């Protein structure tokens, strides 16, 4: 919680992370266009020859875009998922309710060896 902003805006649980998530999801995706962040990334990639790692992919259209571009999606799970996981995940499910789009890995980082070039 950022005490100054929380007090100034009368939002006692306000955090920088909440602001970024709200801006990215509610304002830009829901309020402007569902593919805004995909289009932004596509534009950046047009001018790059570098390999790219996308470290956070939460929505079905983002996963589809990566796969359509020839990318691989790998879901890394560290430990047991918390009790709130399924409730939070339901926000990001596709129309068919399927949230399992990616490869699942459990355990140590050695599990990743050989998955990427």
Tell me the per-residue pLDDT of 2-25, one tens digit each, with 9 for 90 and over: 899 899 999 999 998 889 989 999
Residue 65 maps to a domain: yes
Residue 115 domain boundaries: 50-117
Query: In the chain, how many domains are there?
Result: 1
pLDDT at 4: 92
CA 53/CA 79 separation, integer angstroms: 22
Task: Note the pTM of the prediction, 2 decimals.
Answer: 0.62
Q: How many CB atoms lie within 10 A of CB 113?
A: 8
Residue 54 maps to a domain: yes
In the chain the first and final C-alpha atoms are separated, in Å, by 40
């Amino acid at each position: 919680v950022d005490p100054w902003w929380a007090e100034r805006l009368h939002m006692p649980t306000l955090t920088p992370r909440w602001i970024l998530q709200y801006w990215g999801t509610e304002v830009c995706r829901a309020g402007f266009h569902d593919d805004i962040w995909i289009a932004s990334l596509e534009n950046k990639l047009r001018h790059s020859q570098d390999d790219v790692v996308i470290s956070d992919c939460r929505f079905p259209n983002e996963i589809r875009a990566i796969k359509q571009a020839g990318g691989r999606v790998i879901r890394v799970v560290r430990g047991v998922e918390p009790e709130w996981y399924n409730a939070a995940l339901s926000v990001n499910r596709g129309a068919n309710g399927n949230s399992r789009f990616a490869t699942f890995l459990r355990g140590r980082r050695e599990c990743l060896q050989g998955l990427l070039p």
